[in-house]
């Protein structure tokens, strides 16, 4: 396998490392290398991807930091239990989202969203101002007027991200950035024929959240957010059953 990149040798090495990390990471998450099994030896990985041992070592360091593998001297490198993986790592989330049947992953993802997003909406209702309210309303307009799936997904992503920001809790803000990345990936893999029919309804549901936050009604905002997340999960589950 050959690679052609512009830029310095450092840039090329970085690109190669990212490629190997992604390839091995996806293989581990998909179960090609199950927990407690050994991944290929360094020389074999070099041959598989046409890269140097330096690239392989750097890629393995990255995967170790993400919790996917563990390396021991004179023993080798084995895959760790999925319970040890860093599920708040953006790459790990995207590798899960890209699987052919990520239903269990999305069940867990929606479960954690139900824990923190309704609470963030309720908190935002106690802190928002007219500028914040106008921004949320504009994002709802962007969803309803979207002409393609990408622009709708971005507006949806920004809406939820904005509410987490309005909670003024830095932990929630950071957590939301990561989870919404996975949700954007999910939306972009949905059936194209569902987009024109659902966007108006979805935008309307989000307006209920925005209206509650604008009026300072924390309880209504919390319930409206819960309803949006549950409806999104139900659509995801229904698609999985029809595939």
110 lies in the same domain as 155: yes
Domain annotation covers residue 4: no
Residue 104 pLDDT: 85
- The pLDDT tens digits of the residues spanning 4-36 come to 344 455 455 678 999 999 999 999 999 999 999
Cβ atoms 159, 150 nearer than 8 A: no
Tally of domains within the chain: 2
34 lies in the same domain as 68: yes
Cβ atoms 198, 228 nearer than 8 A: no
Q: Strand ranges (DSSP E) for the chain?
A: 69-72, 76-79
What percent of the chain lies above the pLDDT cut of 70? 86
Give the contacts of 129 (CB within 8 A, at least 6 positions apart): none
Nearest-5° Cα angle at 173, 60 to 229: 95
Residue 54 pLDDT: 95
Q: Which positions of the chain have pLDDT values less than 70?
A: 1-13, 185-197, 238-243
193 lies in the same domain as 219: yes
Q: Which residues of 111-144 are buried (b: 16+ CB within 10 A; e: fewer)?
A: eebeebbbbbbbbbbeebeeebbebbeebbebbb
Residue 243 pLDDT: 52
What is the phi/psi pair of residue 101, to 5°?
Answer: -135, 80
List the domain range (segments joined by +) for residue 57: 9-84
111 lies in the same domain as 52: no
Residue 235 pLDDT: 77
What is the Cα–Cα distance from 68 to 231, expressed in whole angstroms? 32
Q: Which residues of 30-54 are buried (b: 16+ CB within 10 A; e: fewer)?
A: eeebeeeeebbebeebbeebebeee
- The pLDDT tens digits of the residues spanning 78-114 come to 999 999 999 988 899 889 988 877 788 888 888 999 9
Residue 194 pLDDT: 58
Domain annotation covers residue 2: no
Which residues, listed in sequence order, are joined to residue 38 by a DSSP beta bridge? Answer: 78
94 lies in the same domain as 70: no
Residue 94 pLDDT: 86
Residue 180 pLDDT: 74
Residue 3 pLDDT: 34
| Location of structure tokens 């935008």 | 203
């Amino acid at each position: 396998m050959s690679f052609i990149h512009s830029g310095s040798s450092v840039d090329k090495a970085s690109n190669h490392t990212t490629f190997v990390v992604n390839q091995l990471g996806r293989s581990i998450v998909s179960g090609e290398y199950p927990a407690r099994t050994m991944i290929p030896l360094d020389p074999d990985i070099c041959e598989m991807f046409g890269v140097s041992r330096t690239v392989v070592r750097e890629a393995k360091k990255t995967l170790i930091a993400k919790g996917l593998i563990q390396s021991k001297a004179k023993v080798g490198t084995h895959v760790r239990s999925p319970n040890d993986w860093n599920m708040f790592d953006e790459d790990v989330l995207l590798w899960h989202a890209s699987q052919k049947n990520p239903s269990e992953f999305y069940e867990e993802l929606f479960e954690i969203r139900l824990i923190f997003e309704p609470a963030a909406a309720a908190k935002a209702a106690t802190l928002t101002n007219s500028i914040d309210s106008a921004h949320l309303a504009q994002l709802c307009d962007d969803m309803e007027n979207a002409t393609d799936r990408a622009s709708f997904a971005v507006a949806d992503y920004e809406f939820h991200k904005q509410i987490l920001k309005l909670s003024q809790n830095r932990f929630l803000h950071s957590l939301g950035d990561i989870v919404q990345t996975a949700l954007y990936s999910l939306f972009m893999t949905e059936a194209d024929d569902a987009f024109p029919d659902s966007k108006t309804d979805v935008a309307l549901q989000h307006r209920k959240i925005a209206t509650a936050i604008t009026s300072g009604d924390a309880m209504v905002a919390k319930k409206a957010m819960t309803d949006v997340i549950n409806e999104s999960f139900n659509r995801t589950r229904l698609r999985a059953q029809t595939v």
